[in-house]
Amino acid sequence: MNDKKQLYYQYFQDEILPVIKPFEAERVRTVRKVIFTSVLFFFTGIVFAGLFILNAVYSFINPIVLPILLFLMYVFIIKSIINVIIACREFERQLVDKVLPLFFEPVARFRRWPEKDLETILSSKLFGNFDELEEHLCIFGFYNNTAVRISDTRLTMPVRSSVKSYLFKGTMIKLELSKSIENHVILLSKNQKKANNFMQINPHIDDLNNYLYCFAQKSEDVNFITEDFWNVIKNFGETYTAKGFSLAYKDNVVLIALNQKKPMQFGFLFKSLLKAKNYDDLIKRFIIVFDLIDLLNS
């Protein structure tokens, strides 16, 4: 992993840093504006709070005005907090649109990919019925003779409602490996056991069995599940801060589904864009995929 990280760091210094400086200037201006407006809203709320307290002690304002003062106090203090939250979310969206593509080049030469991949999701047998497949962002590239597809995906539940219910929301990673197995293996984190017709297997790795259910169409050709494999898989949940993990390995195709609250998002409004280490979370997400490919193709 360290060699790949250094490659990203070097690429950042040579290629990304010169491009990203205008975004950093924009970020600094946004931070100053957000701090100024939020502090202004907060102290305005404090003024109304002071008036409310003074009137409670000295009763120099009509009592009818008290609820209005209390309401204005809450409005301005809450507005100061919401102002920061909205600015952070908007900045994260800009990072995905403008900065994330700059990290596509170093290893897998990723490109945005417009085509949905319904067939792989259905054949993986990781999910039951769903109504719609949405992909907010998808990238495609090649690494170590392997086609890699990473997407911000949502599967909509087949129910009629004014608010969309999701069967799945998170990151999906598809790998078309150079090696193949004659089997269909499914791994599921134990907080999201789903029905399937496969037999349950025991990989004889205690730590893995504590966290994952393992199913396979047949008991042969499952020796890719080793301690090294588990060590890489374990990093996926941590690196992607996933609430749930699923993996299907069929023939030469691996599909990984990571339930996430905020897929494909990284960075923070109050962190500099000019420091390579501030992108470690993003870089690790790419590298853990490459590490798995290296292991499965070895």
Return d(Cα 248, Cα 142) in angstroms, integer: 20
Q: Could you tell me the pLDDT band of residue 243, with boundaries at 50, 70 and 90?
A: confident
Q: For the chain, first and last CA: distance in Å?
A: 16
Task: Residue 297: count other Cβ atoms within 10 Å of its Cβ.
Answer: 15
Return d(Cα 183, Cα 250) in angstroms, integer: 6
Contacts of 210 (CB under 8 A, 6+ apart): 190
How large a percentage of the chain has pLDDT more than 70? 94
Candidates 42, 29, 25; CA nearest to 83 is 42
- Please give the DSSP secondary-structure letter assigned to residue 64: G
pLDDT tens string 2-13:
788 999 999 999
Tokens representing 201 are 């297997």
Return d(Cα 167, Cα 156) in angstroms, integer: 6
Phi and psi, residue 292, nearest 5°: -65, -40
pLDDT tens string 4-60:
899 999 999 999 999 999 999 999 999 999 999 999 999 998 888 887 777 777 666
Nearest-5° angle of CA 132, CA 136, CA 139? 115
Contact 267, 275 (CB under 8 A): no
Among 46-60, 99-113, 182-196, 257-271, where is mean pLDDT lowest? 46-60
Is residue 227 scored above 80 in pLDDT?
A: yes
Contact 243, 259 (CB under 8 A): yes
Contact 139, 256 (CB under 8 A): no
Query: Strands 199-200 and 212-216: what pairing?
Result: antiparallel
pLDDT tens string 274-285:
999 999 999 999
Return d(Cα 237, Cα 245) in angstroms, integer: 7
Specify burial of residue 155 (Cβ count, 10 A radius: 0-12, 13-18, 19+).
Answer: buried
Give the torsion through C-alpha atoms of 200, 192, 137, 99, to 10 deg: -110
Contact 222, 185 (CB under 8 A): yes
Return d(Cα 257, Cα 255) in angstroms, integer: 7
Q: Could you tell me the pLDDT band of residue 230, with boundaries at 50, 70 and 90?
A: very high
